[in-house]
Structure 1
């Protein structure tokens, strides 16, 4: 029988892995948060800005599938340590970069920090009873608040120290996290011997995971899309200062992050499919409102409603995953998490293209409404939504 030391106690693991996600996500959005400074310094075009800010999301999406699998195979401790070690060199090189190609390439490398979400959602349920999985994944999801810390603090520091030195300060955080995991993480976590399964084959046998992935594409995609787009959007459209734009973005992130555990708790207590109907309806109507108005106060109200609904949706979705995938949960969590992350990559690229063609965000917001309607139709036709 395994001795219950502090390292393998559920509360300690939940706290440690949530703090690790906070730290990882702080690194994940460093480029988008400092882009108003970087683009001005290096004279980047709108298209280049879009690709650079999307780069960490691209790789972070793809890496979530193997990250979930290897967490199941080796345990969260080893995977987190590998993650933070892998960030040291690219983070430093970003601070010395002078070209679009360098920033895009290094952005792909730091995307590994965004893949760490798959670690916790695969590891933490092992420490808790099934009835608490929604709550646990919701608490772990609080790690998203790391994006808020960077969105607000990085522009403030960049005003004082410059964007290059600001990025170098993140190396202190990364090295600290390596130290914490090396000495205090659980080395006795239960692991699996399941072989890695081709995600395409897995989806063929588990079509419900494909559907749940689409749902997360919308809910988490809404969160990530506005996280990476708001700083530049608020500066260019509403002429806010970089610091004020960072503050609004941070508030958006904090609301979505703090409400996420509520989504998990609600998913434990009520029919999660019924809750997702409410979420998709709210996202759709809020996106439609954004496409119809161009008044600052209404815009802020609409994006904060989006923040609430996407945060609750994120918490509910990961309550549903173990309900539809009883085996290969690491791969299942990775697929859903990866698809959600792509939801933060594809829309900014599409919206960036639309802005270049029309000089307006309107059509991009309408696309969110259309996707919400698609998800709503699927869930109403496929699942039992009785509360």
Structure 2
């Protein structure tokens, strides 16, 4: 998101922590972290929910994919809202919607497949936190510290680990419906801390019209970057939502064991996201993504052939390491091409990532129902990673010529 608070002199000479507003940065991280936790909450609970409601494999896949799709769409909505009422207020509204939705689901019960989809739409507001938390934090920081600010706030995607670790155990103790109510407790605590700590940066950028949000779509480069993020982030969040189902259905693990396996995979992908940006700075985003797509495709092919928990887990960790690195690498490229439209492109690229996650999670369920195996779903997504690699190879020469001539950093 474009910087709004920077005088160009004293701030430029300040260290990172002195150059912005630390309480807001912490509030943005906490909000993002807990939001991502509940965004994928249906994944760890899916085996128990499916058993209770007698869901088919395709219904299970669609259930865990719905929050991802809703989050993708709502990211664009939240981007418009942030411009008009400010990120702090937009974030508070989003948090209240999620808390009220979870409380209602707990109190009334979720008793049908349609009910799980309705809950998934509500959880989409949590996934759309990306479009709020990042501008809330980054508007306080000068250009030379934007990467650090967005990286620290963006590390909130580690909240997916919390869901995988704690939701299955709590469901075993209290029942899966009770987990929906229990989630409201940390969410409410974070909402209070957020409201007390967060502060909108002064002199925000002028609001953009909906038409202005669509302007970058006239450039082929925008579509390429969105496509690349649909593979990297889409793969990350799609796997985060689907792995509990995979490990329980494929290897007969308990929900708690599947949660631990999922947490290990998701932790790997979350940890390397900021490292992916640093790697892209060092070797160039194109080179980093070239390795990312090749490794991810290889790892997913390995998953499709894995005959043991250990082999599958190793391949998933490798895939998540690659995809997490790719998430950071894509956002190293975005500001080089769209420096003036970085806020708009953050929303559009994030939208594409959500669409990719919805596709992967839902396609795995369909593959299981139609063929009796998850393998075709993984192989198709591996093919998409190879298609992204081919596309990157196709455009990289033109990017280096055009972006390099403009004096941007290395690709």
TM over 0.5: yes
After alignment, is 118-127 or 214-223 more displaced? 118-127
- Alpha-carbon distance in structure 2 between the residues aligned to 1:373 and 1:226: 18
After alignment, is 337-346 or 6-15 more displaced? 6-15
User: Of 337, 348, 351, which aligns to 1:324?
Assistant: 337
Q: Where does residue 173 of structure 1 map in the other structure?
A: 186
- Alpha-carbon distance in structure 1 between the residues aligned to 2:369 and 2:56: 11
Q: Where does residue 405 of structure 2 map in the other structure?
A: none
Check whether the contact 1:73–1:194 (CA below 8 A) recurs between aligned residues: yes
| 1:65 equivalenced with 2:76 (yes/no) | yes
* Root-mean-square deviation (Å): 2.4
Unaligned runs of 5+ in 1: none
What's the CA shift string for 1:176-225, capped at 9, x where partnerless? 22212222211344422232233784244332121111111000111111
Q: Where does residue 164 of structure 2 map in the other structure?
A: 151
Secondary structure, in 3 states, of the residue corresponding to 2:36?
helix
User: Of 146, 160, 168, which aligns to 1:133?
Assistant: 146
Secondary structure, in 3 states, of the residue corresponding to 1:269?
helix
Secondary structure, in 3 states, of the residue corresponding to 1:345?
helix
User: Of 233, 239, 245, which aligns to 2:258?
Assistant: 245
- Alpha-carbon distance in structure 2 between the residues aligned to 1:137 and 1:267: 15
| 1:202 equivalenced with 2:219 (yes/no) | no
What's the CA shift string for 1:18-51, capped at 9, x where partnerless? 1110011111112221112222222222222222
Check whether the contact 2:44–2:255 (CA below 8 A) recurs between aligned residues: no
Q: Where does residue 27 of structure 1 map in the other structure?
A: 38
Residue 283 of structure 1: how far off its partner (Å): 0.7
User: Of 71, 86, 97, which aligns to 2:110?
Assistant: 97
- Alpha-carbon distance in structure 2 between the residues aligned to 1:118 and 1:319: 17
Check whether the contact 2:29–2:153 (CA below 8 A) recurs between aligned residues: yes
Check whether the contact 2:80–2:210 (CA below 8 A) recurs between aligned residues: no
Q: Where does residue 76 of structure 1 map in the other structure?
A: 87
Change (3 A) 1:24 1:109: same
- Alpha-carbon distance in structure 2 between the residues aligned to 1:199 and 1:91: 34
Change (3 A) 1:231 1:320: same
User: Of 13, 20, 28, which aligns to 1:9?
Assistant: 20
Secondary structure, in 3 states, of the residue corresponding to 2:206?
coil
- Alpha-carbon distance in structure 1 between the residues aligned to 2:362 and 2:120: 15
Check whether the contact 1:31–1:53 (CA below 8 A) recurs between aligned residues: yes
- Alpha-carbon distance in structure 2 between the residues aligned to 1:187 and 1:301: 43
| 1:114 equivalenced with 2:123 (yes/no) | no
| TM-score, length basis structure 2 | 0.87
Check whether the contact 1:69–1:334 (CA below 8 A) recurs between aligned residues: no
| TM-score, length basis structure 1 | 0.93
- Alpha-carbon distance in structure 2 between the residues aligned to 1:201 and 1:68: 12
Secondary structure, in 3 states, of the residue corresponding to 2:357?
coil
Q: How many residues align?
A: 386
Change (3 A) 1:253 1:25: same
- Superposed counterparts of 1:183-194, under 5 Å: 183-194=196-207
Check whether the contact 1:194–1:328 (CA below 8 A) recurs between aligned residues: no
Check whether the contact 1:282–1:306 (CA below 8 A) recurs between aligned residues: yes
| 1:290 equivalenced with 2:267 (yes/no) | no
| 1:221 equivalenced with 2:273 (yes/no) | no
Change (3 A) 1:165 1:291: closer
Change (3 A) 1:23 1:159: same
